[in-house]
Amino acid sequence: MMTPVLTEAQLAQFHNDGFVVLPKFASDEACLALRDRAMQLAKEHVPSPEQATIFTADSTAKHAADQYFLTSGDKIRCFFEKDAFDEHGKLRAEAHLCLNKLGHAMHDLDPQFSKFSHNEKLASLANQIGMQEPKLLQSMYIFKQPRIGGEVNCHTDHTFLWTEPQSVVGFWFAIDDATTENGCMWALPGGHRIPVKSRSRVNADRTASYMEVFDETPYPTEGLVPLEAERGTLVLLNGTLPHLSGPNTSDKPRHAYTIHAIDSHANYPADNWLQRPSLVMAGFND
C-alpha cells in the first residue's frame, strides 16, 4: 500500500471541484533545476534559421507547422510565440525569450525532466485519485513570457488527449509563482461534470487536425476562479475540467511544467493528434 499524499479533504475536493491545488509539492531546488534545464533545452533544440523559414515563408507554412506539431509526440521540440521570427526566419530575440513552450516528450528523453516526472509521490497520488495503471503520455514546459506570453482559451484536456473511457489527468507544476498579473490558470469548480463539448482528431493521412464539435455553446465564464500558485505548487486537473490562462501582461515570467497521464486500461484512439511511435509509455514509478 502506498503512502497517501492527499488528505481526505483534498481528495474530496478533487472529486467535487475537478481540481485540487497542492502547495509546496515540489521543492524550490527541484523547480529551479528544471527551469535551468528547460532554458538549456530551448537553446539546444531551437530550429535553425533554415528550418524556421518554413514556418514563416508562404502558403506551405501552415502545412509545415502542422507537421512539426503533429509529429512532436515522441520528441523535444520548440514552439514559439506569435511573431517570434522575422521575414527571413530569424528569431527576433534569443530563443529562450520568445518560446511559448517545449513539448512533448521531455519526460522520456531528458534525464533531468525524467527525474522530476517519475517518483513514488506522484505514483501514490495517481493511485489515490483512482488511476489504475497511469502512464505518462506527454509533457510540456510552458514559458508564458513577460508581456508576450499569450492566453490559452477555455478548454478541457480530454478534448485533445481523448481516451475511452475518459482518463486523462493533468499534473501542472508552478515553476515560477503564478498570479493573476502574470497569467495564472483559471478553472470552473465542478465544471468537470459538464459533458465535453469537442474532440480534436487528425485526418486519415495525419496532415492536419480538426475539431469534432458536440456542443457549440461556450463554457460558462461565470464562476471561474483563479488558481494562483507559488513555485513548487502542483495543481491536479481532471481531464474534463474547463480551464484557461490569461496573457502575461506583467514583466515577470510565469514558467510551468505539465505532465498529462492516462490510464493504460483505456483505449487510446489512432486519430488522436499525439502519437509516440518511437517511445513506450512509462508509469510514474518506472
Q: Which three cell numbers stand for residue 72?
A: 512532436
Where helices occur in the chain by DSSP H, the ranges are: 8-17, 28-45, 49-56, 60-70, 95-98, 106-109, 111-117, 120-128, 157-160
Shortest approach of Fe ion to residue 92 CB, angstroms? 27
CA distance 67 to 72: 8
- Please count the other Cβ atoms lying within 10 Å of the Cβ belonging to residue 264: 16
Site for Fe ion contains 176 (CB under 5 A):
no
Shortest approach of Fe ion to residue 157 CB, angstroms? 5
Shortest approach of Fe ion to residue 235 CB, angstroms? 11
Cβ proximity to Fe ion: between 76 and 187 the closer is 187
Shortest approach of Fe ion to residue 239 CB, angstroms? 9
Q: Which stretch binds Fe ion (CB under 5 A): 23-31, 96-104, 150-158, 176-184?
A: 150-158
Burial (Cβ within 10 Å: 0-12, 13-18, ≥19) of residue 11: middle
Measured in whole angstroms, the distance separating CA 56 from the mean position of its chain's CA atoms is 25
Question: Which residues, numbered 258-277, are part of the site for Fe ion (CB under 5 A)?
Answer: none
Cβ proximity to Fe ion: between 47 and 73 the closer is 73
Q: What share of the chain is helix, strand, coil (3-state, %, to 5)?
A: 25, 25, 50
Site for Fe ion contains 157 (CB under 5 A):
yes
Cβ proximity to Fe ion: between 157 and 176 the closer is 157
Q: Which stretch binds Fe ion (CB under 5 A): 61-69, 93-101, 143-151, 157-165?
A: 157-165
β-pairing, 99-104 vs 76-80, is antiparallel
Measured in whole angstroms, the distance separating CA 202 from the mean position of its chain's CA atoms is 19
Cβ proximity to Fe ion: between 155 and 252 the closer is 155
Shortest approach of Fe ion to residue 279 CB, angstroms? 21
Cβ proximity to Fe ion: between 47 and 176 the closer is 176
Residues contributing to the site for Fe ion (CB under 5 A): 157
